[in-house]
Chain A
Amino acid sequence: MTATLPAGSPGRRIILRPRRILMHLALCAGAFLMIYPLLWLFSSSLKPSNLIFADPGLWPSKLRLENYPDGWRGAALPFSVFFTNSFIVSTLAVIGNALSCSMVAYAFARLDFAFKRTLFALMLMTIMLPLHATLIPQYILFQKIGWVNTFLPIVVPKFLAVDAFFIFLMVQFIRSIPRDLDEAARIDGAGPIRIYWSIILPLLTPALVTTAVFSFLWTYEDFLTPLVYLSSMDLYTVPQGLRLFMASTGVSAWGPMLAMSVLSLVPLFIVFFVFQRRLIDGIASSGLKG
């Protein structure tokens, strides 16, 4: 059994040992099993509703592309409304998180201030705090100030650095940036704000991209927060639009509903394929949930 060599070790040769081939076969089978539900979803979205269950094969025996335009028209409102809402909310979340978390991370990593260690510990503790602990009072607060049924309760918290995970990620990253750079800038007369803006922020780009990607994904996928805060349909995000579709249409509309499910995943796939490495490195180095 030579196969205990870790990846990247000098023993990495392309030699077709039977054990290796077997392992590749097993991995491919596993990969197919992982992907199969997604393939099924896509193929079913192209089938007439009455064939989705009757015809289990992945290759549709009869194509029905109309599922897509039919689904796009939606249950009560067209999906263009839901997609627009989702993109507004997710984009604002990306900007909010990138900005506020990088500011806070800079302070923790580079500045000296009173109660720093206590505040840092507090910040780490909030990572573990379940969302539900604050959900109800937050709702009451937003209801009192008249923000319920607007995007504000979803977006404003991102500008207040509530996702401490990203602060932590950026603190770790800033600590890896040589302090000599700050020192040089300080000698040239730059203050902390200048140093943050023209030295740290540009060098922080990789961590900012990771933060932006995960902010987008999590906000786009989030179902609970919009469910709690948004009540009028024209503010619904994509997940709520899907749920509306599911609740209001009968069995006959499976095709259009699955078509919209596929479309709702497209932005996630695009982000996945463009930022694959960044996503995986982000998970590996900081333990961000996926």
Chain B
Amino acid sequence: MKDKVRAGELPPVEERLPADPIVVEPYARIGAYGGWARIAGWETFYFSHYEGPMRICPQGATVRLNLLERLVMSEDGKVFTLHLRPGVKWSDGHPHTADDYIFWFEHINRNWELSPLPREPFDAPGTRITKVDTYTVQYEFESPHFYFANDLAHSGHRFRVPAHFAKRYHVDFVESGDLKARAQRLGFINWMDYFSAVVEQGYRGSTVFNRPTLRSHQLVRRQQQNFYYERNPYYPKVDPQGQQLPYVDGITRILGLRPEIVTAQMVAGELTMAALAFDASSLPFLLRNEQRGGYTTYLWTEYLASALSISINQTFADPAVRDILADARFRRALSMAINRQEINEARYFGLGRPGPMFVLPTSKFYDEDTFRQAHGEYDPQAAKALLDEVGIVDRTGDGRRNRPGGGKLNLVLEQPGHHDPTVEMVLEQWREVGLDIHLRVVPGSFLRIRAESNQVHMGTGPGDRVGDTLFPNEPMWFLPFRQGRDMVTWGQWVRWFQTDGQEGQEPTSEAKDLMRWWNEMRSHPDRAERIKLGKRIMQSQAEHVWAIGTVGLTPQPVAVANHLHNVPKRGYWGWDTKLNYPYHPETHFMTTPSP
């Protein structure tokens, strides 16, 4: 950096930083500049994080300011005023202002061609955005939205783009013939694809270099299998001594590595940090090879109510099957037939927390009494009794239970992507109470289509969105809010709600209650009442067992090279916390590896 300043390519650091930069306290100690990190694929994102207006706190329960100086919510929860921190700049030195938010809202979110459907929570027709001054922007919602700050923290980085840069690629600002010709010349199907590839960096991160960013590092070049990221000279954060962050000079992102190869590379000492590729079963191997690979394995905790959560289709097309799946007693029996203690010991070294699908104990919406009544205790006798009650009994004497009317009970549990041994254990335990359920591992996209067309009996997924950041806005495991690859519980009900009753199946009154409570929960002016409504949703989950939990808060190995510092020994690793986002990856620093 200093060389560039001397050469006149960059202004001195005081001019690059805001007058009042964001001070970040490193986890262990003040670091030193230098070093080049090698990170595999997706994990790069978590080494150089998205910077949003707000950020998530280490426990995943609260949010706090990041690029904002102040966030003001009106009394009624409808108007949010974002006061941006003046002097924050994009990586090309252009100031980060209200215009960047306005541009996203008006020209991306509201451009039908570009965004066929506007994004939650901005999709309500009455939502408005106003530029108050250069550094102040105001959102106004038709109905109250008390958890908007959570959105700003978790996905706020998506609500703005570098307007000065994006203008060059948008039909509203460029002669459209020109733009289309340019897009076509570069091989894009249309200008929208060109725009999202360049400005939104596509969903896989197309190769556009030096696109202005607010992250600690920016993509600068590529070479065969590697992407290279270099320090953002305008990054607005400093350590307590006033040294600009990040400490690490650059990152090599290695594309296309399989998880096994990530493990092998870590063990061979070729990676700086890795975690996404691992799960609890990687732990013994990682620990055994620490010496050789020159790294240390930290034991973080997965931010999940259940590492493997099982959803059961309530709206299956065939009524004979649906009657079984939609019977709460059947789901309770399934839940009570699972020996979670055994799974915890065998799969997670006893380190997880066995239990039903529920919010985490750290959540405001957690209620110990309800949790205990949520059919999460192992009780095979009670499970068998419940199955008998539903009429699922063994009629042929072959040890397998039949359908109520006789005939085989052919149920299939579908798992997206890779095979997780926990499922095998669950299926084995179900077999012990006489339920013969088959497993099918299918590619995620394929499972999504099958779920969309209502062909799936049961599905599996990671039980996330169970903390206070995401649960209020996306409680997907607990009510008919969405369906997808990992979530098959109420496809037809979701469709019914999304189309205002035009399509899908009419939900039961319980499902309608759930949606009503949730809507009230987000908009009720009284905080105590909001929490009560959230707890009521949990009561419904406890009673109806909409999803079945197994073991949560499971160990997540985080392998860190010994020459990388300031990585906490313990932490949460999950979608709710955006993996290591709360732990300031920009303060990681590297020393020379010891020989």
The reply to whether chain A is a binding partner of chain B is no
